[in-house]
Amino acid sequence: MRAVVISLLMASTSWAATPSIAIVGPPNETVDLEVYTLSADTLVEEQTSQTDQANREGLYLIATDGTPSLSGTYYVLLTRTSDDVPLASGYVTLTDTTETFVCGPHGVAKLDEDETAIDIDGTTLGTVTNHTNERGTDNAAPAATALTNVVWTDAKAAYIDQAVSDNATPTEVATELATYDGPTNAELQARTLVAADYFDASADTVATVTNLTNLPAITSNWLTSTGLATDAVTEIHNAFNDFDPASDKVYLADGAHGGSSATITLSDYSDFHGAAGDPWTVDPSSYAVGTAGYALMQSYTSVAAGTITSTSTTLNPVVLVIARGDDYGDGLPRPALTWTVPLATADLTGYTNVDLTIRDRYDAVIMTTTGSVANAGGETQTISVPIAGADTQAIAASRQYKYDVQVKSATWTYSVRVGSDQACWIVEDQTRQ
């Protein structure tokens, strides 16, 4: 009885082979393999939680379970196990064997080296007996008649025509060689330096180029404030300040008195100062208050007396005239410059430092010197500033300077006199000794 039961069970069970499928996908993923029939959207095989090969990353070799039996061409889908996202797909042609079959864009059956047929999607493409009908026997050269079996087209012929036309004929080559006039050995030597004449940057001198007639024109805004050296700026500045009224010329721009070649009639100066005859009366005392002559003579009178009186805190400039190279000081023909400051105007108690500073019209300092305060805190406070002739000897004579006189305490600064542009004149010393 037991033998009969076993026999019946074996007769009713169909044991199928388990072919494996090779498919390429992203490496290092845990995937599910799904196999579908081509004729219907039917899942016939599924293998879950599969991984790629350890050394061949991205290659997934997945064995089927043989239920049902798989034979024919199928659609294969590879999805990520965690989220069911498709990773790869293709077609595979299987047989009911235990072989491994490659999944690709089309079904590809297994082909051993000794097999002679190629089968794709169940269709036999042809039989290969050996390689001689492709290129002759192994390691043999193609037959001499190989080109006679080529199917020629216009495109193939055009390639050969082009290759032939791009190359010169032997006659053309001979003509070119016959007419070529190459340099002679003497010509080559005449144009080649010997080693001893090579330029040595460490020892040879580069000749100075003096022909600068082909320099490009200077473009707009080419020269900047940082493009000049400090000494060049100083030289230009001194050139402007070094004006000698006895020998230098003053040119007028085009206008009422003409251009650079015009002459000036001194009696016609109303457009320079106001009414004719204003600043040039003979008697200085006849200058009316408010005229240029009055202000000018007040400045000369103040300097000549050696005393400039400050009667208010207003910093009204007074023209300061200094003879270049002369010494100013107590007991000298030219007394020290003095300023009298009433106590009601300013209490100079504690102001012990006195500074006289003269600058040019470009704000460059041309001279500084110091003085003293006498009777500070008294009703009449006197500021005295001596000047050494050596300090002014090198200053260019000009009427374009400005100055100020300041007294300082440990905490405060008080400007006794401030003269803006043209308020300080350095008169030229003609003796110059």
pLDDT value at residue 292: 65
pLDDT value at residue 193: 80
pLDDT value at residue 40: 80
CA distance 63 to 78: 14
Residue in the structure block whose two tokens are 């000494």: 231
Q: Copy the structure tokens of residue 85.
A: 């996202």
Domains of the chain: 16-127 (2.60.40), 249-278 (no CATH), 292-427 (2.60.40)
pLDDT value at residue 274: 46
CB 92 within 8 A of CB 101: yes
Predicted TM-score of the model (pTM): 0.32
The three-state secondary structure class of 432 is coil
CB 98 within 8 A of CB 86: no
CB 395 within 8 A of CB 295: no
CB 355 within 8 A of CB 373: no
CA distance 414 to 174: 103
pLDDT value at residue 311: 36
pLDDT value at residue 52: 93
CA distance 404 to 19: 110
Pick from 390, 311, 325, 406: nearest CA to 358: 406
Low-confidence ranges of the chain (pLDDT < 50): 1-13, 108-109, 111-115, 118, 120-121, 125, 128, 131-136, 266-274, 276-282, 300-316
Over the stretch 258-288, which tens digit does the pLDDT of each residue have? 555 555 554 444 444 445 444 444 455 556 6
pLDDT value at residue 319: 78
pLDDT value at residue 370: 94
pLDDT value at residue 145: 54
